[in-house]
């Protein structure tokens, strides 16, 4: 995680523009005044820098809002040092030029890109949990006229594949750093020709974290075009049985099953399992139905005048649970010059979102962006409005 230890710094004049960074406001934790957040924007990406004055004076990126690629954080931290004339004690931040390939990040899209304008102009394939990206890149090179969306939650894998995309000048892959189970709710109906789930983590001890579930398969069937395929490849016999039963419990499906099938490219995991002479199972679901269009017109606006300082202090530190979800009011901050800021976790227990809520005199907005337009998040948003009213 990029960070800089500072010996001393002078007070920052904010709002300010320094280098590539725009610093908009400072907010101070109402329970720990030595912790502050600075709202920052670099290359149109909005995020917070976290400032701690104790036990050491430190600046680093805030975990919830940290942007990708990481060179944006490096730029912002260096610009903050310039802004405050700070003396640097130690740092792991390097100049942006060192990670030049990451600047070519056209392939990495924020999830909001898909909610605003889902690409539908080409044959579409989705790979879930692409890991080292061998299969994703191989497929994209084999099918230059199709578009491949790769979904991953592991940042180092994403950065590794971004590097390959840049080196090999691949222009038909988009990557998204998001939970694939939620992402599926955002995909329009009947537009995907193939979904690949290769060697998903079996999560024997945490089944709720598995990608394959009834809800996931329902969404997969909805987004697949007629004759479109969902391809599950696994080395875990137990996961294979679990997936088979889940597939069969749904409705009449067309299913192909293979054991130790060879495919054109083998992933890092596959190589490992083959060396250990483990069996590899394929379950291929073929969709035979046309699905109705997807209704996803949820709105995350707030009513005016929610800046009620007394109510916000009452909520600070509390967790509210209700059917279908929860809201944890984690930390309250006071914004210099007026307004408040809440750090929240909310959503379903299995797939919570972590974000901030900014209260200005008249308007209330999510930061750095609205929750993703899933059904559960919309329910939680309604509940949040009720709680803020008190
Ligand atoms: C065992 S690895 C397999 C990687 C690759 N498919 C291969 O065959 O080498 C599973 C990958 O799935 C990713 N993953 C797990 N749960 C996920 C989810 N809900 N959404 C997206 N990716 C996920 C993990 O980060 C990990 O990289």
Confidence of residue 98 (pLDDT cuts 50, 70, 90): very low
Largest Cα–Cα distance of the chain, in whole Å? 68
CB 348 within 8 A of CB 182: no
pTM of the model: 0.74
What is the DSSP secondary-structure string of 278-295? ---EEEEEE-----PPP-
CA 228 to centroid of ligand 1, rounded, Å: 22
Q: What is the pLDDT of residues 135-163, one digit of tens each?
A: 999 999 999 999 999 999 998 999 999 99
Q: What is the pLDDT of residues 270-312, one digit of tens each?
A: 888 888 889 999 999 999 989 999 876 788 999 998 999 999 9
DSSP letter (8 states) at residue 102: H
Q: What is the pLDDT of residues 41-62, one digit of tens each?
A: 999 999 999 999 877 899 999 9
* Ligand 1 proximity of 313 Cβ (cutoff 6 Å): no
3-class secondary structure, 184? helix
CB 155 within 8 A of CB 68: yes
CA 158 to centroid of ligand 1, rounded, Å: 11
Helices (H), the chain: 71-83, 100-103, 111-116, 134-142, 155-167, 180-183, 214-223, 237-250, 268-275, 309-315, 375-389
Q: Over 50: is that where the pLDDT of 103 sits?
A: no
Least confident of 207-211, 257-261, 280-284, 334-338: 207-211
For residue 298, the model assigns a pLDDT of 80
* Residue, of 296 and 67, whose pLDDT is higher: 67
Which among 131, 136, 159, 199 is the best mutation to test ligand 1's pocket, defined by most ligand atoms within 8 Å of the CB?
131
Return the percentage of the chain with pLDDT > 90, whole number: 68
* Ligand 1 proximity of 235 Cβ (cutoff 6 Å): no
């Amino acid at each position: 995680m990029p960070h800089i230890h500072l010996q001393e710094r002078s007070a920052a004049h904010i709002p300010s523009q320094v280098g590539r960074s725009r610093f908009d406001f400072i907010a101070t934790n109402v329970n720990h005044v030595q912790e502050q957040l600075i709202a920052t924007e670099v290359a149109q990406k909005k995020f917070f820098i976290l400032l701690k004055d104790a036990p050491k004076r430190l600046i680093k990126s805030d975990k919830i809002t940290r942007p990708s690629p990481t060179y944006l954080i490096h730029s912002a931290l260096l610009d903050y040092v310039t802004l405050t004339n700070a003396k640097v004690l130690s740092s792991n931040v390097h100049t942006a030029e060192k990670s030049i390939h990451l600047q070519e990040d056209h392939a990495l899209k924020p999830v909001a890109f898909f909610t605003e304008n889902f690409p539908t102009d080409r044959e579409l394939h989705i790979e879930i949990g692409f890991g080292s990206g061998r299969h994703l890149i191989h497929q994209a090179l084999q099918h230059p006229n199709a578009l491949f969306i790769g979904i991953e939650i592991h940042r180092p894998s994403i950065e590794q594949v971004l590097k390959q995309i840049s080196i090999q000048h691949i222009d038909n892959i988009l990557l998204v750093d998001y939970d694939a189970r939620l992402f599926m709710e955002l995909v329009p109906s009947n537009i995907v020709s193939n979904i690949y789930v290769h060697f998903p983590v079996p999560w024997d001890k945490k089944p709720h974290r598995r990608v394959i579930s009834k809800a996931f398969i329902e969404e997969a069937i909805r987004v697949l075009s007629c004759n479109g395929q969902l391809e599950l490849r696994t080395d875990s016999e137990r996961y294979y049985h679990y997936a088979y039963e889940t597939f069969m419990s749904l409705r009449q499906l067309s299913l192909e099953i293979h054991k130790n099938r060879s495919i054109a490219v083998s992933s890092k995991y596959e190589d490992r399992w083959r060396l250990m002479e483990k069996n590899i199972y394929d379950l291929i679901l073929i969709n035979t139905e046309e699905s109705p269009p997807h209704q996803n017109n949820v709105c995350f606006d707030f009513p005016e005048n929610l800046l009620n300082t007394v109510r916000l202090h009452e909520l600070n530190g509390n967790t509210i649970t209700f059917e279908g979800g929860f809201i944890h009011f984690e930390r309250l901050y006071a914004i210099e010059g007026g307004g408040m800021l809440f750090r929240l976790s909310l959503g379903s227990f299995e797939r919570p979102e972590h974000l901030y809520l900014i209260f200005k005199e008249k308007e209330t907005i999510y930061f750095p962006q609205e929750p993703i337009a899933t059904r559960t998040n919309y329910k939680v948003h309604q509940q949040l409005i009720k709680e803020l009213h008190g």
